[in-house]
Amino acid sequence: MTNQNPTHETALAFRALHIPGRPLVLPNAWDTASARLIEEAGAAAVATTSAGLAWDLGTADGDRLDRDRALGAVARVAAAVRVPVSADIESGYAKDAAGVGDTIRAVLAAGAVGVNIEDALYGGEGDGGEGAGDGGRGPLRPVAEQAERIAAARAAADAAGVPLFINARIDTVLRGAGGVEETLERAAAFLAAGADGIFVPGAVDPGTVKSLVAGVEGPLNVLAGPGAPSVAELAALGVARISTGSSIAQAAHAVVRRAARELLSAGTYDSLTGGLDYVELNTLLGGAR
């Protein structure tokens, strides 16, 4: 019998978008307006950026945001668009694996059908710093501990009957904590624990990406932005998912700062050139979902 649960069907549709060589391209959103604009531009899905979302809520990135506020924002994004939504949940908004399971149940209730879960450690409870990690354990969670957290996420989604796409983020390259070999070891463990895809931010060198595509037994996600190979080049390397992380939010906030500084110093408005038409934007965001 076919499962008629809309969330189940949406999750299957999102999962099917991860095709090596024909990557899912995700311009990341941080609020309802950015999500609607991304959908209107033709995106097949919307993914949130934890950094952009945290900044929008007045908090620094790096495991500082609490679960309820984060997933409240995810719920608003999911309600604003028709396409599937994947939520960046940092390291799970929980101290232990059981708590990660609770977060996944809340993610599904918010309407998302995918998650990013990272293996980075921060300086301590509530500390978003890029330090050595909690208790001097290093910049990344031990493999077994992170695998347990991913397994808890998988179990919670399976119990809900939703084929949630779990994208295991590995910060070896981003934090200088290992090369291709260490990344592949982590990837194998996380996929065995129930992850569906592997996300390695910082890996944009074509040789590195090619090695990761060859060695990861699942869809590979890379983080792209200025200076990275084009979508076409990454597709040719076999990448299955390309995201922009916080870079669009950073660019948007740069416009705010430039415009404010220009207005308050020179008294001119050149930074505002190229803004979206008021009627067009108001119609898009004021229309029915």
Asked whether residue 10 carries a pLDDT value surpassing 90, the answer given is yes
In Å, how far are 52, 121, 245, 289 from 129, measured between CA atoms? 16, 9, 18, 38
Condensed to tens digits (0 to 9), the pLDDT of residues 156-181 reads 999 999 999 999 999 999 999 999 99
Burial class of residue 140 in the structure, from the number of CB atoms within 10 Å of its CB (0-12 exposed, 13-18 middle, 19+ buried):
buried
CA pair distance 194, 192, nearest whole angstrom: 5
CA nearest to 168, candidates 152, 184, 144, 191? 191
Q: Is the pLDDT of residue 288 over 80?
A: no
The per-residue pLDDT for range 144-161, each reduced to its tens digit, is 999 999 999 999 999 999
Longest CA–CA separation in the chain, Å: 67
Q: Residue 152's closest CA among 190, 208, 178, 204?
A: 190
Cβ atoms of 76 and 110 closer than 8 Å: no
Tokens of 120: 């980075």
The band of 289, judged by pLDDT with boundaries at 50, 70 and 90, is: confident
State how far the Cα of 72 lies from the Cα of 93, in Å rounded to an integer: 13
- CB atoms under 10 Å from CB of 244, counted, come to 22
Give the alpha-carbon dihedral of 110, 96, 132, 47, to 10 degrees.
-20
Helical residues (DSSP H) of the chain, grouped into ranges: 6-15, 32-40, 50-56, 67-80, 97-110, 143-159, 180-193, 206-215, 231-236, 247-265, 278-286
* pLDDT value for 275: 97
Instruction: List, in order, residues 6 or more apart from 155 with CB less than 8 Å away.
Output: 101, 194
For residues 261 and 265, give the distance between their C-alpha atoms in angstroms, rounded to a whole number. 6
Q: What is the pTM of this model?
A: 0.93
117-140 pLDDT per residue, tens:
999 998 644 333 333 333 334 699
